[in-house]
Amino acid sequence: MILAGGPTTVERMPTDDDADDDVTGFGAPLPPDDRLWRHPSELGRHASGDEVAGGRRRRSGRTATLPVALIAGLAGAVLSTGIIAVTGHLSPRVIERQVVERVAVTPMVSSPMVRGDRGVAKVASQMSPAIVRLDVTRDGTTATGSGVVFRDDGLVLTSAHVVEGADDIHVRLDNGRNLAGTLVGADALTDVAVLDVDARDVPVALLGSAAALEVGEPAVAIGSPLGLRGGPSVTTGVISAVDRTVDGPDGSLHGMIQTDAPIAPGSSGGALVDSTGAVVGIITAKATEAGDRFGFATPIDLARRVADELVQRGAASHGWIGVEGVDLPPDQAGAMGVEGGALVRGVLGDGPAKAAGLAQDDVITEVNGEPIESMPDLVVELREHRPGEEVKVGYWRKGKRSEASVIVDDRPPAPPSARPDR
């Protein structure tokens, strides 16, 4: 062979077919179908559906790849929807941003966390970072309250009466930062309000459920009473009652949790925590008739539902059928053979109850099969139903039981100093 630059002699090596002398350290490669990895040069042949069998090329067609493509497409669509749902862009919201909430899964733990002083200390250390102090100024006077951070983008749950009529709200976080608070919305019927502060990645409280609370369970109240320094205050007690109606200066609160854990002024808007360390209620000190013996809290299930509506549209909806009433007296209940009921004292002329045929002196004893033993029972049951929903109302009239289909409406704003309609 002649190469540029001068003659060069090239020796040809003899061919050796003895495989035993060739030691490369690697064996013959496996067939592509038996391997987890394929060289890029092999992808064209196998991705196109060609298979090699017995030295012949066999066309498999697209039937094998079509299901894979469909599954991949569906997975992509589900993933995209999931991302939209997490970031809050699936439906319009007043506040749209990616957030973190902590919600307990029931049952959370197999044994209570609150066992003696050390258990209470553990609950306190877990909850305190999510408890904030509110400094609320109205008419030149500043009062203090409490709040519970329930979203890591700076949304805070508190009591509506704490921020009612506020000219200025400042929120002091657990780390000492003092930030301006903006009122997102408030609902007087449940004494729930939501504040927004310009803070991100803040510690959030673990939200539980009040649905399965039992009288006698341990309870811990955590708030910032009197604006004292040194962080939140902790008091202990038990769940002393559930489904309480509490009369206050601005109306009645229904379905409240009652506790004997001391509630000091300024703790309103703080957290009532169960034995697992999860928030079961938002403390309200709106009650006046019980003095200092008991504290009350709005169940967290209700507070969270109201908070979500306040964030989404700035107001909360409450199921309403347009009746006024009182508890059925025990002697009348005994004569009728029922446990109790809501005695209708008035029916609004343009309300859903009137349209469905209900009248004064009817006794409502059921809504969709759920027993109604008092007027507060009717209020609590109706707020579980959304406006536009049809419910079956069982009632008694002149000793005869009847049933009416009623379309639930959204409760209109009550005039000042007027008794709320149900």
Any idea where the domains of the chain sit in the sequence? 33-92, 94-315, 319-410
Tell me: pLDDT of 77 over 80.
Answer: no
From the list 128, 152, 161, 385, the catalytic residue is 161
Range 321-332 average pLDDT:
95
Q: Is 191 a catalytic residue?
A: yes
DSSP label of 64: T
Cβ distance 183 to 315 under 8 Å?
no
Rg (CA), the chain: 34
CA angle 296, 299, 303 (to 5 degrees): 115
Q: Which residue type, as a one-letter code, is found at position 316? A: A
φ, ψ for residue 176 (rounded to 5)? Answer: 95, -10
Q: Which of 317, 319, 324 is nearest to 358 (CA)?
A: 324
Lowest mean pLDDT among 36-50, 115-129, 212-226: 36-50
Q: Which of 390, 363, 388, 387 is nearest to 377 (CA)?
A: 363
Confidence of residue 288 (pLDDT cuts 50, 70, 90): low
Per-residue pLDDT of 366-402, as tens digits, reads 999 999 999 999 999 999 999 999 999 999 999 999 9
Cβ distance 287 to 352 under 8 Å?
no
CATH topology assigned to domain 319-410: Pdz3 Domain (2.30.42)
Q: Indicate the burial class of 49 (C-beta count within 10 angstroms; 0-12, 13-18, 19 or more).
A: middle
Tell me: pLDDT of 117 over 60.
Answer: no
From the list 187, 191, 409, 421, the catalytic residue is 191
pLDDT of residue 250: 66
User: Which option is the CATH number for 94-315: 3.20.20.70, 3.30.565.10, 2.130.10.10, 2.40.10.120?
Assistant: 2.40.10.120
Q: Would you call 106 helix, strand, or coil by DSSP?
A: coil
Most confident of 86-90, 119-123, 322-326: 322-326
Q: Is 161 a catalytic residue?
A: yes
Tell me: pLDDT of 50 over 70.
Answer: no
The Cα 182–Cα 195 span in angstroms is 5
The Cα 123–Cα 219 span in angstroms is 10
Q: Is 91 a catalytic residue?
A: no
From the list 159, 224, 240, 268, the catalytic residue is 268
